[in-house]
Amino acid sequence: MNDFLLTVLRNERVADGIYEMTLSRPEGVQPKGAQFLHIELKDGGRILRRPFCVCDCEGEEITVCYALVGAGTRELASYKPGEKLKVLLPLGNGWDADAFERPVLLGGGMGSAVLPLVARLAKKARPTAYLGFADKGKAVLTERMSALCPTVVCTDNGSLGRKGYVTEILARDVREGKVRPDAIFCCGPEIIYKLLAKEPAFADIPVFVSLEKRMGCGVGACLVCTCGVRTKEGEKNLRVCADGSVFDLREVIL
Ligand SMILES: Cc1cc2nc3c(=O)[nH]c(=O)nc-3n(C[C@H](O)[C@H](O)[C@H](O)COP(=O)(O)OP(=O)(O)OC[C@H]3O[C@@H](n4cnc5c(N)ncnc54)[C@H](O)[C@@H]3O)c2cc1C
Ligand code: FES
């Protein structure tokens, strides 16, 4: 991991309140799927960096897909091509789809932003993606994912793709044998993790989740980002930034 000065190549609105920023890729850096980066904002009043997963990384470019949430992401959206940003990367443990044969990549809303690089780096695995959004206006990365692997898009109101909650649609497809995952990798709001944990259709399938916690340093030093995890030695508080962000769902205390 290093602190790089990266150039903004593009920064465009891609859906309601959602932007894609493409940055110059530092030479020789290959993030793993589900790793993240930490961006220093230019407004010195915003001291803490903002964490975003590496959405994609190809050729000379690194892509971040982000939702406008507060002052920091609004500032990010104002950056123009040519501006330079200090970016710490790659951070976190990441997730390797190739450790499995038929992984399902499950994205809930902005959690889908973590999936393109995971799918791109799957050389042996044959992943299938399920992406769930509230409605068509919030749907992002559907074309990018469809170009990388078979992708099922779902919206809560049916305005795009299949109608219903993505967890329920995946559970139905698993029960009907339409998809036979040997692992599920998921990134989304915590409610999705709770649903996955109690869904009988997934009881025999390993499930890995990428956790999101407010972060300070991003590198394991400040202990701002801890979460409770059951380990062989008992329950422990682990750091999402340095021990995760990917954990085995059944070990995480939600
Ligand atoms: C590992 C990781 C990966 C992430 N990947 C993405 C992504 O790919 N796309 C995306 O849209 N969002 C992602 N997030 C969430 C993103 O970091 C926050 O939405 C963003 O920091 C909000 O900043 P803000 O200043 O606009 O919001 P404010 O609410 O004004 O932020 C105030 C403070 O809270 C922190 N904060 C607020 N929300 C979050 C949050 N959900 N997670 C962590 N810190 C937060 C900010 O860093 C800042 O220090 C990720 C978070 C983590 C931890
Ligand atoms: S953010 Fe500092 S330890 Fe995780």
Q: In this structure, what CATH number is given to the domain that contains residue 120? A: 3.40.50.80
For residues 182 and 109, state if they share a domain.
yes
Determine if ligand 2 sits within 6 Å of the CB of residue 217.
yes
Instruction: Give residue-wise pLDDT tens across range 115-127.
Output: 999 999 999 999 9
224 lines ligand 2 (CB under 6 A): yes
| Residue 47, domain extent | 2-91
**Nearest ligand 2 atom to alpha carbon 216:** 1
User: Is 249 a domain residue?
Assistant: no
CB 95 within 8 A of CB 185: yes
Domain count, the chain: 2
pTM, two decimal places: 0.96
Residue type, 51: P
Contact 218 CB / ligand 2 (< 6 Å): yes
Band (240; pLDDT cuts 50, 70, 90): very high
Angle at 167 between CA 163 and CA 170, to 5 degrees: 80
In the chain, how long is the greatest CA-to-CA distance?
54
Tell me the best of 212, 213, 226, 245 to mutate to test the pocket of ligand 1, counting ligand atoms within 8 Å of each CB and taking the most. 212
Contact criterion met (CB below 8 Å) for 110 and 69 = no
User: Measured from the CA of 221, which atom of ligand 2 is nearest?
Assistant: 3
In a domain, residue 120? The reply is yes
Q: How far apart are CA 101 and CA 107, in angstroms?
A: 19
- Give the span between the Cα atoms of 95 and 66, in whole angstroms: 20
pLDDT in tens, 53-107: 999 999 999 999 999 999 999 999 999 999 999 999 999 999 999 999 999 999 9
- Same structural domain, 146 and 161: yes
**Tokens 């074309």 belong to residue:** 143
Residue 174 amino acid letter: V
Residue located via tokens 């990134």:
187
Both 15 and 101 in a single domain? no
In a domain, 218, yes or no: no
Q: Is residue 198 part of a domain?
A: yes
- Nearest atom, ligand 2, residue 241 CA: 4
Which CATH number characterizes residue 51's domain? 2.40.30.10
What is the whole-number distance in angstroms between the Cα of residue 49 and the centre of ligand 1? Answer: 9
In 3-state terms, what secondary structure has residue 192? Answer: helix
